[in-house]
């Protein structure tokens, strides 16, 4: 997820409860194609060996850029490439990229073939269609004909954004189409899946190959855990401490300003007495040390736990 799943946050999640596969934030292939852009996008692709298997998500509109980048990603050691054909953000769609590719299926197919040049597995992440839900058999069928290793489907159209419930009612029909067209392509389902328990229940009902969880981690950093019991304040604050430490540790690989870090605080500081006040104090900090001092104060004030 853009500005979320960087090397820092992925390590926090790995410590809390690790998913089977990690995906990077998406990186623009056109930027990466230019020397200057490659340098400025490098932080998005930073990862460490303990994160394997890790997939690089990329987006763009020019097959040549995908061919180039796929070879570089293979050299960097990524376990696979995921092509974003689902992002509904206006600035992405107006370039023809992300979910804009749903309207240019021929180009989408050329991009997939180009991404195979690097020789590592190729996956596509997309939506059901552009405007109407009933576009899915044609669009999904088209993608299944491209010989991809995995297809992740966010069960909404571009137009639906995230404003309606995900269309779980289509999962079995999608799997049937996959079995007919491309039995070797894995199907991963995405949309509104809260945590591992929810994922396991869905997987038991429908024979999907994978489940992707996105926003679930915003309300529960332990979303990938096998256990579902509530976490203590201490556990959550320790994760926040870890997040601050890793923000400093990876500052060279992923240089990021301090302010955007604040959007993560509500993930950890919730559901305990005084959480709102603590969040408010944290929002006024300007350094990781100031944030650590607030956590220490709260811990001191309420000990023993």
The catalytic site residues sit at 87
Could you write out the DSSP letters of every residue in the chain?
A: -TTTSSHHHHHHHHHH---S-EEEEEEEHHHHHSHHHHHHHGGGG---GGG-SEEEEEE-S-HHHHHHHHHHHHHHT-SEEEEEE----HHHHTTT-GGGGGG-HHHHHHHHHHHGGG-S-EEEEEES-SS-GGGHHHHHHHHHTT--SEEEEESS-TTTTTSS---GGGHHHHHHHHHHH-TTSEEEEESS--SHHHHHHHHHHS--SEEE-STHHHH-TTTT-S--SPPPHHHHHHHHHHHHHHHHHTTTTS---SGGGGGGHHHHS-SSTTHHHHHHHHHT--SHHHHHHHHHHHHHHH---
Q: Which of 120, 182, 213, 261 binds ligand FMN (CB under 6 A)?
A: 213
Shortest reach from residue 1's CB to ligand FMN, in Å: 4
Total chain residues near ligand FMN (CB under 6 A)? 20
247 binds ligand FMN (CB under 6 A): no
Q: Which of 61, 70, 190, 220 binds ligand FMN (CB under 6 A)?
A: 190
- Which CB atom, from 97 or from 216, has the smaller least distance to ligand FMN? 216
Q: Which of 193, 237, 278, 281 binds ligand FMN (CB under 6 A)?
A: 193
Shortest reach from residue 222's CB to ligand FMN, in Å: 15
Q: Select from 190-198, 233-241, 242-250, 276-284 the region that touches ligand FMN (CB under 6 A).
A: 190-198
Residues 60-119 within binding reach of ligand FMN (CB under 6 A): 84, 86-87
Q: Which of 97, 121, 191, 221 binds ligand FMN (CB under 6 A)?
A: 191
Q: Which residues bind ligand FMN (CB under 6 A)?
A: 1-2, 4, 25-26, 57, 84, 86-87, 125, 154, 162, 190-193, 213-216
């Amino acid at each position: 997820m853009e500005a979320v799943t960087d090397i820092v946050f992925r390590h926090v999640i790995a410590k809390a409860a690790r998913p089977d596969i990690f995906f990077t934030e998406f990186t623009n292939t056109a930027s990466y194609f230019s020397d200057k852009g490659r340098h400025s996008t490098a932080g998005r692709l930073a990862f460490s060996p303990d994160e394997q298997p890790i997939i690089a998500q990329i987006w763009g509109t020019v097959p040549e850029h995908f061919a180039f980048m796929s070879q570089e990603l293979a050299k960097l050691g990524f376990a696979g490439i995921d092509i974003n054909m689902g992002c509904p953000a206006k600035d992405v769609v107006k370039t023809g990229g992300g979910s804009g590719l749903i309207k240019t299926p021929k180009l989408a197919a050329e991009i997939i073939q180009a991404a195979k040049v690097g020789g590592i597995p190729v996956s596509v992440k997309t939506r059901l269609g552009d405007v109407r839900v009933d576009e899915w058999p044609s669009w999904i069928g088209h993608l299944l004909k491209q010989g991809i290793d995995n297809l992740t489907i966010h069960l909404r159209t571009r137009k639906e954004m995230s404003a309606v419930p995900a269309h779980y009612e289509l999962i079995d029909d999608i799997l049937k189409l996959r079995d007919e067209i491309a039995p070797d392509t894995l199907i991963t389902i995405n949309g509104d899946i809260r945590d591992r328990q929810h994922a396991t229940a869905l997987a038991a009902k429908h024979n999907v190959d994978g489940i992707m969880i996105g926003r679930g981690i915003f309300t529960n950093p332990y979303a990938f855990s096998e256990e579902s019991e509530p976490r203590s304040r201490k556990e959550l604050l320790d994760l926040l401490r870890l997040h601050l430490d890793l923000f400093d540790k990876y500052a060279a690989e992923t240089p990021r300003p301090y302010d955007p870090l604040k959007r993560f605080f509500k993930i950890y500081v919730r559901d305990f007495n005084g959480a709102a006040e603590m969040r408010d104090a944290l929002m006024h900090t300007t350094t990781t040390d100031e944030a650590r001092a607030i956590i220490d104060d709260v811990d001191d004030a309420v000990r023993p736990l």
